[in-house]
Amino acid sequence: MLGKMLENVQAKTPLVHNITNYVTVNDVANVILASGGSPIMSAEPKDVYDITSICGGLNINIGTLTTDSIEAMFIAGERAGELGHQILLDPVGAGASALRTNTAVELMEKLNLTVVRGNISEIKTLAMGSGTTKGVDADVADAVTEENLDQAVTFLKDFAKKAGTVVAITGAIDLVSDGEKCYVIRNGRPEMGRITGTGCQLSGMMTAFLVANPDQPLEAAAAAVCTMGLAGEIGWTYMQDGDGNSTYRNRIIDAVYNMTPEKLNEGAKYEVR
């Protein structure tokens, strides 16, 4: 069933406006293209109103905020809201600085978000003003494990309900909930954490999935998570002697490029709680 979500991306070539960090922006663009979407980047306040108007969705990533890009996020976000576009927030490093935390919280309050996607520390920060974000990677103390999974699912459903959006927490086990249902996803590999920006890539690609499947944000978000994780598994099978994280980065994007609805249906490992 999730394969249908990818099929729609490949059929519709959804145009995604990205206001994203300069660290991983190239990979974000290439993975959107790999999935079948079309990316455009703009973070200049004077440019984003027009740019977001011609797109179908907006991916906001706070990984390298500037005063100008924050202004652009609100301009683009409000305009995207007026047009009924899909809007995703990736709160990179929320909890690591006041600017990041406050910006993420304010974006959640003022914009009509479809999805918030982050690691567990970032989402905990948004939910409870706590979490123990250490830099841009989740703190191991926060990790979702088989042992605390029930608690994590309950936490996520509560937060998604309160926030009124779909929320996705990615890590060793990925969770995606709209407040009612929760996808528990077990695709992916731990080595993906040694590549910068697999989370940013997922957020960009997920926005393309949301645009192509506007009536099913929960399923679209879950399908994007499964696609990325499965691409990590498939990419790994092509790794050869001497390969490391840089080649693995390419192999994952390549695997997204070669993903089919059938492969996704077969390889997606999830349960719904």
43 in contact with a second copy (CB under 8 A): yes
261 in contact with a second copy (CB under 8 A): no
Please state whether 135 falls in left (phi above 0), alpha (psi between -120 and 50) or beta. left
The residue among 53 and 216 lying less far from a second copy, judged by its C-beta, is 53
From 71, 78, 137, 233, residue interacting with a second copy (rule: CB under 8 A): 137
The residue among 15 and 88 lying less far from a second copy, judged by its C-beta, is 15
Interface with a second copy by CB under 8 A: which range of 61-69, 123-131, 159-167, 176-184? 61-69
Residues 68-107 binding a second copy (CB under 8 A) are 68, 93, 96-100
The residue among 216 and 233 lying less far from a second copy, judged by its C-beta, is 233
256 in contact with a second copy (CB under 8 A): yes
266 in contact with a second copy (CB under 8 A): no
Interface with a second copy by CB under 8 A: which range of 2-10, 164-172, 192-200, 207-215? 192-200
From 3, 91, 171, 197, residue interacting with a second copy (rule: CB under 8 A): 197
Interface with a second copy by CB under 8 A: which range of 29-37, 78-86, 202-210, 217-225? 29-37
**Dist CA 65 CA 68 (whole Å):** 8
Contact set with a second copy (CB under 8 A): 15, 21-27, 29-30, 33-34, 38-44, 46-47, 49-51, 54-55, 63-68, 93, 96-100, 134-137, 194-197, 234-235, 237-238, 241-247, 249-258
